[in-house]
Chains A and B, each alone.
Chain A
Amino acid sequence: MVTLTIDGKEVSVRPNATIFEAAKEAGVHIPVLCYAKKLLPYGACRICLVEVEQMKGRLIPSCTTPVTAGMVVNTISDEIRKVRKTVLEFLLVNHVVECPVCDKAGECDLQDLTYEYEVTTNRFKGAPFAHETDEVNPLIERNMNRCVLCGKCVRVCDEIVGYGSYSFIERGFDTKIATAFDRGLNCEFCGQCVSMCPVGAILPRPFKFKARPWQVKEVDSVCGYCGNGCTVTLGVLKDKVETVRFNDKTGVNDGNLCVRGRFGTSFVNSDARLSSPLVRKDGVLVETDWDEALDVVAKGLRKAQQAKGVGILAGARLTNEEFYLLKNLSGALGTGNLDHSGGQCYKGVTEGLDSVLGLRASTSTFPQVEQSDFILSVKADFYETHPVFGMVVNQAVRRNNAQLVVLGDKKAKFSKLPGARTLLSRPGLETNLLNALCFVLLDEDLARTEGIDNLEAFKAALASSTPEAVAALAGVDAQQIRISARELAAAKNAAILVPYGMPYLAAASELGTAAANLALLAGVVGTEGAGLYVCGEKANSQGAIDMGILPAAGALGAPQMLDALSQGNLSALLIAGEDVLSSYPDRETVEKALKSTGFLVVQDIFLSDTAKCADVVLPAASFAEKDGTFTNAERRIQRVRRAVPSPGAAKTDFEILCALCERLGRPVEQASDAAVFAEIVRSIKGYEGIALDQIGAQGVVWGGENLMPLKKNLVSVEGAQPLSAALSLITGSTLHHSGTLSTHAKGPLSVCPEPFVEISRQDAAELGVAEADLVSVQAEGVKLSLKAKVDIRLPKGVVFIPYHFSQLQLNRLYKGQAAVAVEIVK
């Protein structure tokens, strides 16, 4: 620790802190424009100049100067005031003063400083900037006439996002921030630059002219899309969620968000939202009131339970409290047929993990990844499913020189990061590659084998998984596998990332097991700083696993329920928060099952394809309309808060489930989210001792920062065989969408409005397909026609279709396989 004096106050700070950071700790305010907590020091704006006794004769920029012992700093004096005022005058020479029409006014750093330093006149004269504004894209508006050249957008796009859209162009007075060749912005549209801009140069277009910052009510909540669990601050105006505000004081995401989180909340205000219960009468769904709808549901479910039984399926975007009540409901009905999100994928990966480590969750927390020196990403599109966690990986790569190795079937965003090594395999062979990595660790005696059970049998089973054999099968370089394994073994803090979700159903259990085996052998589990991360696709995937939304012993899981329904062995199905028909694999089976269901109840916020088949549709509330908790992919329990009322008569799933439990004769004793959370704490393993009030801005990680394995038991798994086909279709997530929910949000839709099939350049040339051509993808008599997108991400012979768009009905082709043999016809 270094001790210095700031404005007469003694402060002790870490040795590599800057004067600005030390002052902040001492509670001394120094104005800044170009400084941001998460970015590297830059020193562009010269507003933060201070006096240092030991460096007399000039003023020192406090945001770039490191502290030294015994430093005596003055942060304010007449001289400093004069200089800061002059700096502001310089900035205002060319700055177009249009505060009345600028949306930033009211929270503009330049405006605030101009007011504070009373810059009422300007001694310097110059022509105001006359740059053209960039309004080409639908989400981010850039007006460089308001820019103060702090470079925050340039740096955040490079350092945090790793995209590099912006750069300074021209010199001297003509300097400005521009995109490549000064064309319009065309990027990931994460809007990080919007959140960083201290002035009104970069603004969110969907919120243009909507309101002034001071009129917006801010509600801290958690994003409802992916398992990353980013905290969002919803900007509420007249009971509508209009925008997402920048807030880097809550959560672990440092104010970082992706396009879904920042621009994807408009589905909450959608006119298509369900606002009253619907009951099927004479074959048509008609609006009714809650009493009637609930009576029909209770009667129908009770009758069905007495007949052949009831099944319950949930989505993974309900809160922990709602999951708990759903379990109560299954208890009230006396059924163990309970499952969520397709069953296999979530259950598979976590069961695989469980068999090896005795755990069903990530072992460490996201901030630890920033300090990693080796990161292994299983599946290429980890960034696409969990963008903000991807940004943490990017920081580890850029700031900590971490080696990133990607096992996957395409070269997605991660493959572009500096020094990233992609083991580009044929689709569905990640397990084989993980086995080969295990083989090298054991073969070269690099594995940490002390205290590990079942080692000999594992070695024997692994005998055929030599890097050479796997490399030949998967089409990768054996030497690269060996190098990667050696680096993994040598790493001090390694991280292994495994995403799971609806598009990755194939061999999920094998993948989870193989990843856990590797984590165990590489010493990644149980070591502080290192970790195995299993990251669910949806906001509360981890919560669903923790709350046990899984079939009871001997009861039916999701696929078995669907089978039983189509064979008439199950009488009713209750679906809460999932468009089963659109997102489950094998639409034909699901369709048949839903059609033959005697009594189908759907709780949802939209009249989805699934809801259209239902006998009763109960309108539910979105994440912005309820209180509760989500558990994210690193086990962090965070509070979701109600920001707006639900449309019409819609109720939260919590209220619906409470009412159903009551009608089914097992009322919830204390129907408040706090009481149910207390119940969860009493009964759920890992949640012991957590009080709801204790869940503050940073959330609470159950089980602690590092989760120790309960056992160390290697389980051998067979790798897969590659599909031999001229064209293999793989599915997955795009960066702009998450599940099917984001296809109701204007922001993501404006960037990625329709389904597409991504084809490699070589294949496109062979097929004679150009960008945006309408092609049909065919297999087994199913024909999908959609636009082509030609890119260099995919290897030859692989095509990719994202699974988000329900209108495409991709699941008529995708039946849970790793890859589907298809034909493409122009």
Chain B
Amino acid sequence: MFKEFAKGLSITFKHLMPGHSTTVEYPKQKLAPSARFRGLHRLVPAHQREKCVACYLCPTVCPAKCITVDAAENERGEKYPRVYTIDLLRCIFCGYCVEACPVEALEMTGTYELANYKRADFEFTKERLLK
């Protein structure tokens, strides 16, 4: 019985050794999220414009109703989002919007540091989302 006890504790002590910690000292040290992490949204740019064609599928599928799209016609006669805003205070980061997008114009990045001081700063407009 003592043998098993020692074996168990040895694992515990091994983790106390430097270099074996699972936590990091945030914010001095930051972890890179995995590729499929669902962080801040990003609108994908294309030539001269955003890739988004304002099809309204993302606001339709959004369970939190946090996406506002207003379509319009540009000078080339194309449909484009005059307004594209995501209210991050309402967003639940489910990723349905990305899944619904028929033209892969929306993706979710690894950015997770989204705290802010003012409510208005959580309104991500088209210009901010395109960055």
Contacts and interface: CB of A to CB of B under 8 A. Distances in A.
A209 B78 CA distance: 10
Interface stretch (A6-14, A97-105, A180-188, A351-359): A97-105
Contacts of A99: 55, 102
Contact of B60 (A100, A208, A212): A212
B56 interface: yes
Interface residues of A: mostly helix, strand, loop or mixed?
loop
Given A209-B72, A209-B73, A101 B53 contact: yes
Contact of B54 (A135, A209, A215): A209
B103 interface: yes
Interface string A205-216: 000111110110
A211 B55 CA distance: 9
Contacts of A210: 71
B79 interface: yes
Interface in A48-102: 99-101
Given A212-B60, A214-B60, A105 B73 contact: no
B56 A208 contact: no
A100 B57 CA distance: 8
Interface residues of A, number: 12
B85 to A, nearest CB: 15
Interface in A162-215: 208-212, 214-215
Contacts of A208: 73
Contacts of B73: 208-209
Contacts of A214: 60
A105 B77 CA distance: 18
A764 B1 CA distance: 119
B26 to A, nearest CB: 40
Contact of A209 (B57, B60, B79, B102): B79
Nearest to A133: B77
Contacts of A105: 55
A100 B104 CA distance: 11
A20 to B, nearest CB: 32
Interface string B58-88: 0010000000000111000111000000000
Nearest to A135: B77
Contacts of A212: 55-56, 60
Contacts of B71: 209-211
Contacts of A209: 54, 71-73, 79
Contacts of B56: 211-212, 215
B103 A100 contact: yes
A227 B13 CA distance: 92
B72 A101 contact: no
Contacts of A215: 56, 60
Contacts of A135: 77
B65 to A, nearest CB: 12
Contacts of A101: 53-55, 78-79
A11 B92 CA distance: 52
A549 B68 CA distance: 49
A142 to B, nearest CB: 14
A208 B53 CA distance: 14
Contacts of B78: 101
B52 to A, nearest CB: 9
A212 B58 CA distance: 12
Interface string B93-123: 0000000001100000000000000000000
Contacts of B103: 100
Nearest to B72: A209
A203 to B, nearest CB: 12
Interface in A367-415: none
Nearest to B79: A101
Nearest to A210: B71
A212 B72 CA distance: 12
A212 B57 CA distance: 9
A215 B69 CA distance: 12
Nearest to B103: A100
A35 B77 CA distance: 32
Nearest to B105: A100
Interface string B30-71: 000000000000000000000001111100100000000001
Nearest to A212: B56
B16 to A, nearest CB: 56
Nearest to B74: A209
Given A100-B102, A208-B73, A212-B55, 17 more contacts: A99-B55, A100-B53, A100-B55, A100-B57, A100-B103, A101-B53, A101-B55, A101-B78, A105-B55, A209-B54, A209-B72, A209-B73, A209-B79, A212-B60, A214-B60, A215-B56, A215-B60
Closest 3 A/B residue pairs (Cβ) = A100-B55, A101-B79, A209-B71
23 contacts: A100-B53, A100-B55, A100-B57, A100-B102, A100-B103, A101-B54, A101-B55, A101-B78, A105-B55, A135-B77, A208-B73, A209-B54, A209-B71, A209-B72, A209-B73, A209-B79, A210-B71, A211-B56, A211-B71, A212-B55, A212-B56, A214-B60, A215-B60
